[in-house]
Amino acid sequence: MTGSAATGQAKVGARFTAWDSYIEGANVEMEPYRRIVQSWRTSEFPEGSPDSRLEVLLEEAKGGTKVTLVHTGIPEGQGEQYKQGWRDFYFKPMKIYFASARNKKATSKRA
């Protein structure tokens, strides 16, 4: 979906990486179809700084799912770059990916 390889498993305690290990962390809490909480950091975090906390909330919405990210504990001065990164490298590709999947599904139903 994002065009970058990722590693990990969908279970609490499992570690993950993304973007050639630029991002790494662990799954802290998981509520299927509702919520994911992760410890999260990039290779740009200052040495010795703690992981940030990423909470992904999933809610039913008309025609799909509403995804809300709550990203806290980001090192001072880095918030805007990660905010833009979420937009450019996750939300934009997600919209394209799921729109394409929806179109394929609609096309196969008509065939």
pLDDT, one tens digit for every residue, the chain (111 residues): 777 889 999 999 999 999 999 999 999 999 999 999 999 999 999 999 999 999 999 999 998 889 999 999 999 999 999 999 999 999 999 888 888 876 676 666 655
* Residue 1 belongs to a domain: no
* Residue 74 belongs to a domain: yes
* pLDDT attached to residue 108: 64
Please state the pTM of the whole predicted model: 0.85
* pLDDT attached to residue 97: 87
| Residue 69 · residue 86 · CB < 8 Å | yes
* pLDDT attached to residue 2: 75
91: domain CATH number is: 3.30.530.20
C-alpha dist (Å) from residue 38 to 25, 103, 106:
7, 32, 34
Domain that holds residue 15: 6-110
* Residue 85 belongs to a domain: yes
| Residue 38 · residue 54 · CB < 8 Å | yes
* pLDDT attached to residue 109: 63
* pLDDT attached to residue 4: 85
Q: What are residue 24's phi and psi, to 5 degrees?
A: -150, 160
Burial (CB < 10 A; 0-12, 13-18, 19+), residue 69, is middle
